[in-house]
Amino acid sequence: MKEFHGRVIAPGYFKGEAAVTHHGFNTLASFQKSALNSRCKKVIVSDQNNPDLFGKNITGKALCLPMTIGSTTGGMIIQTVAARGIAPLAWLFSEPIDPLAASGIILATTWNGVKLVAVDNLGPDFLESVKTGDQVEVKEDGTVIVY
């Protein structure tokens, strides 16, 4: 068990499975097929440039990432998949969150009433410690525990 402390962006409690990438997470490329297909019931990462998560289901999980990258549609894409109920429920950043990801998470919570949890500044050791499939617990104060 390892414990990390970060800055709370969107408060809340989460306990569940981690989906980890060590690469910048391109929101448009990753969510494109799921966000644009209203029949999709889960997000299967479609970004072929992300070898850590390509082809994996990240719906309802804790997305553990350094940062998001890509186009200015990033926030809208996050808000869209959250409104459809297929987004990762926790967003755990080793680096500072970018404004586009923050806006999508906040809009999903404010406009759609979707409870997303987000913590940033967890540090590089966080991504070295957590593995896809690990259980993580996120507390309201920004504490993240990796089991």
Domain ranges of the chain: 2-146
3-state helix, strand, coil in the chain (%, to 5): 25, 30, 45
State pLDDT tens for residues 101-131.
Answer: 999 999 999 999 999 999 999 999 999 999 9
Percent of the chain at pLDDT above 70?
Answer: 100
Strands 143-146 and 2-5: antiparallel
pLDDT of residue 38 exceeding 80 = no
State pLDDT tens for residues 54-63.
Answer: 999 999 999 9
Residue with tokens 């186009």: 71
Q: What is the CATH number of domain 2-146?
A: 3.50.30.10
Average pLDDT, the chain: 95
pTM of the model: 0.96
pLDDT of residue 32 exceeding 90 = no
